[in-house]
Amino acid sequence: MDEVALLRRKLERERAARKEAERILETKAAELFDANQNLKKLNQNLELEIAKRTASLQESELRYRVLVEQARDIIYNVDDEGYFMYVNSTGIERFGYTEENILGRRYVEFIPEEDVAKEFAYYTMVKERGIKTDYHEFRVKSKSGDLFWLGQNVNRVENEDGSYYFTVVARDITQRKMTEAALEVAKLTLQKSEVKYRSIIENMDLGLMEVDTEGKILRVYDKFNQMLGYENDELIGKSANETLLVAGYEKVLQEQDANRNKGETGVYEVKIKKKNGDEIWVLISGAPFYNEKGEIAGSIGVHYDITDRKNLEEELEVARSKAVKAQQAEKAFLANMSHEIRTPLNAIIGMSHLLMDTPLNDEQQDYLEALTSSADVLKSLISDILDISKIDAGSLDVQNKAFNIHRSIDQLITSFSLQDPTNNVVFESAVDPQIDYMLYSDPQLLNQVLLNLLSNAQKFTRKGSVNLSVELLDEAANNVTLRFSVNDTGIGISKDEVAIIFNEFKQANTDIRNKYGGTGLGLSISNQLVKLLGGTLKVDSKVGEGSSFYFVLTLGKSTHKIDGTTVIKRVEKLRIRDHKILIVEDNKMNLKYITSLLKKWDVDFTVCVNGKEACDLAEKEKFDLIFMDLQMPVMDGFEATQIIRSRTDQNQNVPIVALTASTFLSKKRLALKAGMSDFLSKPFTPDQLFEILSKFLSQTKHEVVAEGHLPFSKQLDSVYLKEAYGDDRAYARDMFETFLEIVDEELLLLREVLKEGDPNLIGQKLHKIKPTFTMVGLSQISDQIESMERKLKSKEAIDPMNWYSELKSQIESYKPILRSELKMLSEWQND
Amino acid sequence: MKGIVFTEFIDMVESKFGYETVDHIIEASDLESNGIYTSVGTYPHSEIVQLLLNLSDRTKMDAQVLLKAFGEYLFDTFLKSYPQFFTAKENAFEFLKSIDSHIHVEVLKLYPDATLPKFETTEDDNGSLIMTYTSERKMSALAEGLIEKSIEYYGHPHSVEKKNKKEDGSEVEFIIKRV
């Protein structure tokens, strides 16, 4: 280590350290200097502040002096002997002197001579008692001799040496003194007029009584005595309530007395008793009265005898309650009767439907139709009466459920569209598309109202259109206001008639009843249902142009958006009524399935069960389309097709669609070869059937709307079931019901065939029953049957009876599921 | 950290190991101040740590031992510069108790920006003084040197037991017993 270099570094560090220390100290010194400067500045500010305060003190003293001088009150000082030491300018002016004249004068000189003794005595008293402050009113005389009143506050101010003087603030109160005198006069006048009015009241049929705050009678008037048969001295001093009040009304009086003591008036009715014990009803108007000090001294009651009126009211009430009871009994009777009648009536209707399925001659057919339609009318009448009595009895519960308004309206309109056989009236609907969420209301009640209105419109409209619209009037965070209206182009209603159509059993006029029928309950029910839903049913109408029934409801909004993914297809309106379809099918399930769909779409059809019958029918009648099963007893579909095609008649070129359960293309080819136009594989969906109808009848159109589906059990083929039935409960129910009815018989037949062992017959049988199972969601059973079919075809070794018993036990195990599905579907329908 | 700690440290190193060592530890450390210290200045804590560690390296002595020795050295400086703090108290306990409540209060008046360790004191049932050192700087060895020298100053022998309350040394307990 280089010693010199080391020392140099040490020296450098020490020098640097010294410099650093100097810099730090200089900085500190500068900070100290600044702090010192700030202190100096603060000191200067303080001095300035003191000067300012002093000036403001002087200013405020001046201000007070000016205030005293300019005050409208007289302000002065007198010494202990009553000599003026200071008088402000108001005082000098009021006393009528100049400042020089007044100072040194004595206060007593301003008192009128007649008051001097009194005032002197007062001031002597004040001085002797050493009273420090006091208020005093007295008369004063000015220099010119005017007399006026002063009210003054006197303060004794003591000096340090024990001597004292007075500071006085006085005000001219002459005006007030004069008002007081005038009031005295007015009071006398009032007393006179009171006597006058009292005598007037005494001459009226009103009994007056005065009581004190304790309820003791102070005074009674003659009319009051006459009313109750008392003398004055029999009542005065007694407790009014104890002597006069009939038991049971104490509470009313207690409340009234309490109000009176608060200074409130009141009118009330109670029963009081006369001296002879008779009771009378009185209307009392009570009011408090006051003594001179303004305190409540008691109350005065004006009594008016209302016994006659009360008796009448009671009689009326008795009569009314009797009437109400009678009315209730009538309603209960009506409700019970309606219910009792409905039960046998349902039997009549059910039986007549059954009867219709039996062979009938034309005459019997006519009678039966008349019977059925009368029974239907009777049933709807009874339902209406039952509804009315339910609404009247208030026993109708209004639900609040989420529902899809588009779907509800759509289903309604569809059912009406399909009902109209003449097609003269177009049913349309328009629901604001902005409503893309579920709504809360009672969908069933709402549906009933709209159904009633639509039925009504339908009844009175012979041509044109019926239009149901739902407009969105207002939308808030949690609810929407909607305007429902049903407009028609029917006969319309006159202004006079509009007034009565909502009444029960009222139709516009008797002519209408004769011509159009009905009970006149529909609109009344609708009106009441709309009320229950929170709206008012109204109508605009013009005779000959049509009517518009409408109402506005505010409904809750669901956060649940309408799901656009569950979409199935719907027929809006099939314009294929002029067409006639022939169905040739021997399988009951298939027949039920296809005819239900065609009925639903309002398509005209004829049914037969084998090829032979089909040929016979085709000979007699023109068909626009034939659905032909392939395997049938007596004559199969191939043969029947060939025969029809070979004839030169109206049906030679009719489209014939094969209904085949076969998935084998060879079968289909065979069908086409036999002259068939197309084929439909069983089981088919409504869509597939519809496609065929569209293809061959061509005047149909399709529309897609959002719809839901039924919640089928997961153990069934729900994909197929959804596709086949959508949300058509009635349809699905019919299918399940038919299946459960026929399945045992079908199995028995299958067993017979299997037992006989003819492979051809077995194949045919299997082929026939295969689709039946798919239709109720048992696709796997159908699959097993198909695989058996295949084995038969390929001549594989089989044990038919063993296979059968296994198949049967599987089907048995599914039966409870199918029954519970059927139960679910039926319950929903009744819902 | 107050400049006096640095100037006294440098002085101690020079007196014990010579200026050559001072020069070495300054040159070996990466110092923002370049090793130029004055008692009226304030310098980063990290510098004393570097100097101490480099001294430990150079001398092959334990850093804690060096720090304690520095505490003892610093005591003499404090005694010379601020005798009034010591003469005002009659015994070691009185003095030690007054560090937090009095001496450090006075220090803060002069140097408001100083960061001082905390010395909480309590007496247990046996009459021992329990002194708790708390500082993020973890220099309890320095405190130990100071404590021991102050006991020596007052003349009555005491034993000093040292216990880490926190493992990192940021909180240390000294149990001081009269012997």
Residues of chain A contacting residue B36, judged by C-beta atoms under 8 Å apart: 13, 16-17, 20
The shortest C-alpha distance from A28 to chain B (Å) reads: 10
State the DSSP code for A517.
-
Residues of chain B contacting residue A17, judged by C-beta atoms under 8 Å apart: 7, 36-38
Across all residues in chain A, what is the average pLDDT?
A: 82
Residues A773, A783: Cα–Cα separation, whole Å: 9
Residues 6+ apart with CB under 8 A from B127: B178
Which range has the worst mean pLDDT, A34-38, A502-506, B90-94, B110-114? A502-506
Residue A784 predicted with pLDDT over 50 = yes
Residues in chain B: 179
How much is the average pLDDT of A301-322?
89
Q: Which one of A3, A13, A18, A22 would you mutate to disrupt binding with B, by most B Cβ within 10 Å of its Cβ? A: A13
pLDDT in tens, A111-120: 888 888 888 8
State the DSSP code for B166.
S
Residues A249, B168: Cα–Cα separation, whole Å: 90
How much is the average pLDDT of A344-362?
76
Residue A56 predicted with pLDDT over 50 = yes
SS (H, E, C) A565-626: CCEEEEEEEECCCCCEEEEECCCHHHHHHHHHHHHHCCCEEEEECCHHHHHHHHHHCCCCEE
Which range has the worst mean pLDDT, A206-215, A330-339, B133-142? A330-339
Higher per-residue pLDDT: A484 or A445: A484
CB contact under 8 A, B36 and A6: no
CB contact under 8 A, B20 and A24: no
How much is the average pLDDT of B149-171?
89
% of chain B surpassing 90 pLDDT: 44
What is the number of helices (H) and of strands (E) in chain A? 26, 24
Residues A241, A256: Cα–Cα separation, whole Å: 12
CB contact under 8 A, A6 and B20: yes
Residues of chain A contacting residue B7, judged by C-beta atoms under 8 Å apart: 17
Q: What is the pTM of this model?
A: 0.32
Q: Which helix (H) or strand (E) holds A441?
A: strand A437-441
How much is the average pLDDT of A577-581?
74
Higher per-residue pLDDT: A682 or A605: A605
Of B20, B23, B36, the CB nearest to A17: B36
pLDDT in tens, A525-565: 888 889 989 999 999 988 888 899 999 999 998 877 775 43
Local structure of A71: helix, strand or coil: coil
Query: Can you give the pLDDT at residue A395?
Result: 64
Residues A640, A628: Cα–Cα separation, whole Å: 9
Which range has the worst mean pLDDT, A333-337, A366-370, A464-468, A696-700? A696-700
Higher per-residue pLDDT: A393 or A552: A552
Residue type, A261: N
Handedness of CA A27, A33, A39, A45 (dihedral sign): negative
Of B23, B35, B40, the CB nearest to A24: B40
Query: Can you give the pLDDT at residue B73?
Result: 92
A339: confidence class by pLDDT, cuts 50, 70, 90: low
pLDDT in tens, B36-54: 998 888 899 999 999 999 9
Residues A609, B138: Cα–Cα separation, whole Å: 107
Which range has the worst mean pLDDT, A89-98, A115-124, A331-340? A331-340
Which range has the worst mean pLDDT, A711-725, A774-788, B148-162? A711-725
Residues A492, A828: Cα–Cα separation, whole Å: 37
Strands (E), chain B: 118-123, 129-134, 158-164, 171-178
Higher per-residue pLDDT: A412 or B44: B44
Query: Can you give the pLDDT at residue A568?
Result: 33
Across all residues in chain B, what is the average pLDDT?
A: 89
User: What is the per-residue DSSP string for A311-337?
Assistant: HHHHHHHHHHHHHHHHHHHHHHHHHHH
Residue A393 predicted with pLDDT over 60 = yes
Query: Can you give the pLDDT at residue A741?
Result: 87
Residues B140, B151: Cα–Cα separation, whole Å: 16
From edge to edge, which strands make up the β-sheet containing A580-584? A604-608, A580-584, A625-629, A656-660, A678-681
% of chain A surpassing 70 pLDDT: 90
Whether residue A583 contacts residue A591, with contact meaning beta carbons closer than 8 Å, is answered with yes
What tokens does A277 get? 């014990």
pLDDT in tens, A453-481: 988 888 888 888 899 999 999 988 889 99
Whether residue A379 contacts residue A349, with contact meaning beta carbons closer than 8 Å, is answered with yes
Q: Which one of B4, B11, B24, B36 would you mutate to disrupt binding with A, by most A Cβ within 10 Å of its Cβ? A: B36
Q: How far is CA A443 from CA A430, A484, B124, in A?
A: 18, 13, 84
Nearest C-alpha in B relative to A28: B40
Q: Residues in chain B whose beta carbon is closer than 8 A to a beta carbon of chain A?
A: 7, 19-20, 22-23, 26, 34-41
Of B19, B20, B38, the CB nearest to A20: B38
Q: What are the two backbone dihedrals, phi and then psi, of residue A87, each rounded to the nearest 5 degrees?
A: -135, 130
Of A1, A10, A21, the CB nearest to B38: A21
Of B26, B37, B40, the CB nearest to A25: B40
Residues of chain A contacting residue B19, judged by C-beta atoms under 8 Å apart: 6-7, 10
A831: confidence class by pLDDT, cuts 50, 70, 90: very low
Query: Can you give the pLDDT at residue A813?
Result: 86
Q: How far is CA A317 from CA A249, A269, A311, A320, in A?
A: 21, 17, 10, 5
Which range has the worst mean pLDDT, A524-528, A794-798, B27-31, B37-41? A794-798
Residue B92 predicted with pLDDT over 60 = yes
Distance of alpha carbon A796 from the chain centroid: 71
The shortest C-alpha distance from B34 to chain A (Å) reads: 9
Q: Which helix (H) or strand (E) holds A149?
A: strand A147-158
